[in-house]
């Protein structure tokens, strides 16, 4: 007989056993994520300690505690210039091709490993790609051209 998670924990006469099974499974899943995260935190602390030791070897007068943490962007965030780099990399791969904003959105999602992203993240990437393309157009790096259907095409300006 296959044992299901939580079967032995939930009394047979419990109210809402299906709900309780779901809650037990979710709790176990979150506890697993927490253990994984705690392991990651321990690893990060070790790495920081090693870097601190190396800094002290080269310059013991540096106040390690005054080093502020650098903010990390969210999973679908981008560091300055990263969106432009991805767009240019995509265009340089096929310099004669006319691209759509959708092409660049897909490249942004793929670069971050978010190919199956929800609609909210996809919309964010569309907005970022569009804003970057407008800035690049103002700088003369790209030009907008007619594309299939209702799309605006984007082409690399090659000088």
Q: Can you give the residue ranges of every domain in the chain?
A: 1-70, 82-156
Can you give the three-state secondary structure of the chain, one letter per residue?
CCCCCCCCCCCCCCCCHHHHHHHHHHHHHHHHHHHHHHHHHHHHHHHHHHHHHHHHHHCCCCCHHHCCCCCCCCCCCCCCCHHHHHHHHHHHHCCCCCEEHHHHHHHHHHHCCCCCCCHHHHHHHHHHHHHHHHHHHHCCCEEEEECCCCCEEEEECCC
Average pLDDT, the chain: 86
Is the domain covering 82-156 a CATH 1.10.10.10 domain? Answer: yes
Full-model pTM: 0.51
What percentage of residues in the chain have a pLDDT greater than 90?
Answer: 42
Note the pLDDT of residue 96.
87
Q: Which has more confidence, 41 or 1?
A: 41
Note the pLDDT of residue 7.
67
- 158 pLDDT band, cuts 50/70/90, is confident
């Amino acid at each position: 007989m296959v044992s299901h998670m939580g079967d032995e924990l939930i009394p047979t006469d419990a109210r809402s056993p299906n709900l309780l099974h779901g809650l037990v499974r979710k709790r176990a899943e979150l506890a697993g994520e927490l253990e994984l995260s705690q392991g990651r935190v321990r690893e990060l602390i070790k790495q920081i300690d090693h870097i601190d030791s190396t800094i002290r070897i080269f310059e013991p007068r540096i106040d390690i505690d005054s080093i502020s943490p650098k903010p990390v962007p969210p999973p679908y965030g981008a560091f300055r210039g990263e969106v432009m780099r991805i767009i240019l990399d995509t265009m340089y791969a096929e310099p004669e091709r006319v691209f759509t904003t959708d092409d660049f959105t897909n490249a942004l999602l793929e670069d971050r490993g978010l190919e199956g992203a929800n609609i909210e993240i996809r919309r964010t990437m569309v907005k970022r790609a569009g804003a970057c393309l407008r800035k690049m157009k103002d700088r003369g790096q790209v030009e907008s051209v007619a594309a299939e259907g209702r799309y605006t095409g984007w082409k690399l300006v090659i000088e």
